[in-house]
Amino acid sequence: MKKIKIFTAILAMILLNIGCTGDFSELNEDPNRIAEISPGTLINPIIYGLATHNANRSASVTFNLMQVSLPFPSVSGGLHRYDLSQEIGASSWNNYYKWLNNIKEMKIAAIRAEDPNYEAIALTLNAWVYANLTDIFGPVPMTEAVSGEEGNLYPAFDSQELIYKTILVDLERANTLYKTSSPMVYASDILFQNDVKKWRKFTNSLQMRLLLRISNRSETNAFQKLATMIQNPILYPVFENTAESAILKVTGVTPNVSPWGRPQDFSLNVKIASFFIDNLNTMSDPRRPIIASVATDMNTISIGYKGIPSAYVGAESQFAYNASTFNSAQITNPMNIFLLTYAEVEFIKAETAQRGFTTEAELHYKKGVQAAMEQLGV
């Protein structure tokens, strides 16, 4: 009898274990998580992440190097004096490769879904990021990059020449992949609202930008390719007006918010550089009030637009005025982040014509100027 009871108890425990573990796999599966990503799952975080990173780095790095603005006071060191630290590129390096990994997943998902439009967009975003990376750092990992999951934690570096050749081929292929007759079936993207025609124009406009960047290398035949694109607008549609531009409209509705949490962070302890504002003053540029504040003397009387010289020598007390700073309205919700504009396309056409490969340089230049005003509401 005792043996029967022991056997019964053991059998009950076995059955209990079977009953408990049978549903473990179901219990451990989060029903709220996406089991398999779609191309549309990743596109908006990628666009927003890249656009806001670029906007931040433009203000904190590029503006200093190009004598657009400078920190003030700043009596020694600083980017405006070309005093660069080893860590200056870390943010761009880490951010770009993070988003490249997501772009890779987006491309895989697009191919799996047999969706050529999203595959073309992934190729375009990939080219955009690698162009930025190689322009900043020179040789960078590309062919072996974003392969950590496959165990490659030390990818080889590729030359700028190989990178540009590869991404230009990718953009050429992307242009042929788009199917404007097929809708983008996932949630509306925040850049072009699922307008396939605009995405295709972005792809070709980006190719024009990259061709111009390598145009001084005669072996690339970049201007010849630009001329081919300009003369064949049906095969290579590009931006034709400001409304088509790649401009991210930051709504201020979470998560699509300004990269500057506080508007004052954009202009606090920052002054417009003399080089930049003096050029705008010389041309009586009507964009000045949109870009900058008016300087004042020590009695708070307006003295027009006046900056501080980049890399100035001596104490800040030598500047007996309150110099112009950025107009924080530029980065206050809602705001625009410019990725690639119709104005830039017209300036590229103007330079191609000025070099003798096409015609009407003056016409395209004037269109570019007009569009540059228009995109800022002038």
Q: Give burial (CB, 10 Å; 0-12/13-18/19+) of 314.
A: exposed
**Domain segments of the chain: what residues?**
39-194, 264-331
Based on C-alpha coordinates, what's the Rg of the chain? 27
**Identity of the residue numbered 369:** V
**Identity of the residue numbered 207:** Q
pLDDT band at 29 (very low <50, low <70, confident <90, very high): low
CA distance 341 to 131: 17
Tell me 60's DSSP state: I
User: Looking at residue 75, what is its pLDDT?
Assistant: 87
pLDDT in tens, 328-347: 999 899 999 999 999 999 99
Count of helices and strands (H, E) across the chain:
14, 8
Top-tier CATH class for 39-194 = mainly alpha
Q: Check whether 2 has a pLDDT greater than 50.
A: no
User: Looking at residue 3, what is its pLDDT?
Assistant: 47
Maximum Cα–Cα distance for the chain, whole Å? 108
Instruction: With 0.75 as the threshold, say if the pTM is over it.
Output: yes
Could you give the percent of the chain with pLDDT greater than 70?
Answer: 91
pLDDT in tens, 303-332: 999 999 999 999 999 999 999 999 999 989
pLDDT in tens, 365-378: 999 999 999 999 99
User: Looking at residue 224, what is its pLDDT?
Assistant: 98
User: Looking at residue 148, what is its pLDDT?
Assistant: 87
